[in-house]
Structures are given as structure tokens and as C-alpha cells.
Amino acid sequence: MQQKLTKAFVEKIGFEQSGQIFYRDSELKGFGLRVGRTAKVYFAEAKLDGKTVRKSIARHNVMTIDEARNEARKILTEISTGKNPFDVERARKAIKVTVQEVLNEYISSRVNLKTSTIQDYRNTFKTYLGDWLNKTLRDISKDMVEMRFRKIGENSPAQANKVMRNFRAVYNYAMIKYEDSNGDSIFKTNPVNRISQLRMWYRVNRRVTYIKPYNLAPWYEAVMNLSNDLIAPNRETIRDYLLFVLFTGLRRREATALTWNRVDFKDRTFTVIETKNHTDHTLPLTDFLYDMLAVRKANAVNQYVFPNEFGTGMLNEPKKQIQRVVQESGVSFSLHDLRRTFITIAESLDISAYALKRLLNHKMTNDVTAGYIITDVERLRTPMQKITDFILIQVGQKQSASVTPLQRIA
């Protein structure tokens, strides 16, 4: 509806019972008033690339009609030069968004991220990029990325790679999230690209360390020496945890997250649900593991098989007690070394490739034959026991099969 918009007119007209009506100013083309059931809002509109662009300005009781008309002129001028006012607004918001805000949005949008992965992202950003969190994402330059990458790399090349790969993922999310009306990203270039362009990524060789068979006995003895006292009331939980990881080959987090409702004493199995490949992992309990967990179950304090010292959650990585075992045994190891030890022993015992992959919960997507093999958990009981027996023999807790020499025939 064409109408000369004046203060008196705007004040006089009433609200609509339903829907809304548009009054367009007869003096300034493109300026108007939208009236609904509860509000009267000034707007500016014009054609851009054949489409009508309408931008709200303000409610009538917030801005005078003269102020609204002047604001409309600015918006109409922008549109006449090919600028979309919504792009300007999006860009203004994008300029102000901080690294912390984008990180939060990234984590919220990734609905399948595991709790441990989320915590890892937050810890990584806080530890290595903490001074960036309150900066706007737009302020993080290529030079800043390069300098921080080099600084982290002085102490840990692997950590430098990880930090910048995480930051690159978050920045890529922002490039997709913040777009103009044409679908073009407001953030044009990811500053982490400089590391790739200059071929700066560190070459980090995969660790191949494990506990060799002749070191298992002193390692086992040192682990078994972990006993509770007033200073460390949770040492025996850590003792059992270290043994459990060695005898099952689980990843660190898979073992700490194991809960009692996933342990089936009747079937003598346990199931890990938060795995790296997002596939539930069920393994048989050998006699050694069954006896250990039976004792732990009788003294359980919460839902976790391996609780923390306060009984309020799962066990945290026991770095102090690991170092204690290292010092006492003289055997240097990490938690993942225990998994590699399990794998190495399994391979040495000529366990089939399919059973080995199943024991480790590795996907076999590239193996056509594997798609036709269904490995029941009971079929893993024998290879699992073979690995357990090998370890127990090495640590002196089980005798190897005796061999009677053949008598020479005269």
C-alpha cells in the first residue's frame, strides 16, 4: 500500500488482528513500514540481481521516522552499488566472532564426537592456543600460525602437527559456517594452509616401542608391588588397570571407560562401546582376567571397573604410578606400548590375521574375504588364552608345557 509515511500516520494506524500489512512510502521509494499484530517495523527494500532484498531497520518506538528514513537511504545506496545488506551484517558478525566461540560451535555441530575427543580439543586449545581464545578468528594471521607451529615444534613436533590440524579443522568449519548470500565464505583462506604450502609439517615416525619378552618379568614384578596406602589409596586399581591393558590390548580410554554393566561374568566376556572406529568391541575373559575382575567387582565403588581415587568417576591416566613402575623395573613404557606388546605377542604366536584384527577391533573394509567371515567371540577365546599364557609364562606365573625327550633307540 502506497502511503506518505509521517509520524502522525505511523502513530495513528493500529496493529493487525492477524498477519501483517506493508505500507510503502510515496516519497522515498524503497522505504516502508511493516505492521503486524504486536509491532510496527521500518524497512528498506530494493531489487538486487532480480531478487527483492528487504532489510528491517527498527521498531517505530525505537527510532524516529526521520532517523529510519535516513537509515533506509544508506541501505538503498548499498543495494544500488550491488552490496547485499545481509552480507554486510554477516561480515560484521564474523569479524567479531572469537576463536573460543568458533571452537564451541564446532564441537556442538559435531554430534558424533566422543567425550574424550571433545576434551582433547578443549585441552589442546587451552594449553597451546590459550592466548588466542579471546581473539577474533579474523585476527589469527598466517604469520601467527607459523610462529606458534615452530614454537610448539621445538619441544614436540608431533604435538605441533596435532595442534595445527585441530585448529585447521575448526577454521575450516568457520569457512563453511560464515557465508554471504551467494554462498561464498566470509573467511577466504585458512591460515594453516601456509604450513602445507611451505611443506613445514613435521615428519613424525610412528612409535614402534613395546615391552620385550625378557622385560615382562621385571615389569610385572614392579606392577604387582603397587599397593594401597594412606598416600596413594588407589594403587591397586592402577595395578589391575595396567595388567588389564596388557592382557587385552585395549586402548587407554577404552579400558578406563569400561563399566560393570558391560562385563558379563556368566558368558565370561566384556564389551567396550566407546571405540576408535565406533564399533562395539566384545572380547572373552581368560581365567586370569575373570579372577581379577571378580575381585574388583566384589569391591566396586561405582559404575566403572577402574574408578578414580575419589570414587566419583573413571580412572585418570596414572602418570605418577607409571613412572614409579618405570623406575623400579628399569623398563620404560607408555600405556600404548602395552597395546603394542599385546599385538607383538599375538603376531609371534601365529594367530590368524582375521582373529588378530578382531582382537584389536581393526576394521577390515579393504579385505573382500573378511566380509564373508563372521568371527564369533567364542572363536577368539583360544587365541586370547594363548596370549595370556605366553605373558604368564614370561613373568613366571605359569609353567610352559614340559617336553619329554625321546629315548634313543639302540
How far is 74 from 83, CA to CA, in rounded Å? 11
Cell digits for 259? 563399566
Residue 338 has pLDDT above 90, yes or no: yes
Query: Is residue 375 very low, low, confident or very high in pLDDT (cuts 50, 70, 90)?
Result: low
CA distances from 272 to 40, 220, 256, 264 (A): 59, 25, 10, 12
Name the segment(s) of the chain with CATH classification 1.10.443.10: 213-394
For 119-135, write each residue's pLDDT tens digit.
Answer: 889 999 999 999 999 99
pTM of the model: 0.62
Neighbours of 88 (CB within 10 A): 14
User: What is the CATH code of the structural domain delimited by 213-394?
Assistant: 1.10.443.10
For 311-329, write each residue's pLDDT tens digit.
Answer: 999 999 899 999 999 999 9
Say if CB 134 and CB 96 are below 8 A apart: no
Residue 370 has pLDDT above 50, yes or no: no
Stretch (H or E) spanning 21: strand 21-25
Cell digits for 171? 577454521
Give the CATH fold of the 96-197 domain.
DNA polymerase; domain 1 (1.10.150)
Query: Is residue 183 very low, low, confident or very high in pLDDT (cuts 50, 70, 90)?
Result: low
Name the segment(s) of the chain with CATH classification 1.10.150.130: 96-197
Buried b (16+ CB within 10 A) or exposed e, 66-81: eebbebbeebbebbee
- For the 2-83 domain, the top CATH level (class) is alpha beta
Neighbours of 37 (CB within 10 A): 10
The SS3 call for residue 318 is: coil
Please list the helix, strand and coil fractions of the chain in percent, rounded to the nearest 5, in that order: 50, 10, 40
Residue 406 has pLDDT above 90, yes or no: no
Stretch (H or E) spanning 56: strand 51-59
Task: Identify the CA nearest to 356 among candidates 371, 374, 342, 372.
Answer: 342
Name the segment(s) of the chain with CATH classification 3.30.160.390: 2-83
Task: Identify the CA nearest to 217 among candidates 328, 71, 344.
Answer: 328
Give the mean pLDDT of 199-215.
Answer: 86
How far is 97 from 104, CA to CA, in rounded Å? 11
Cell digits for 274? 566407546
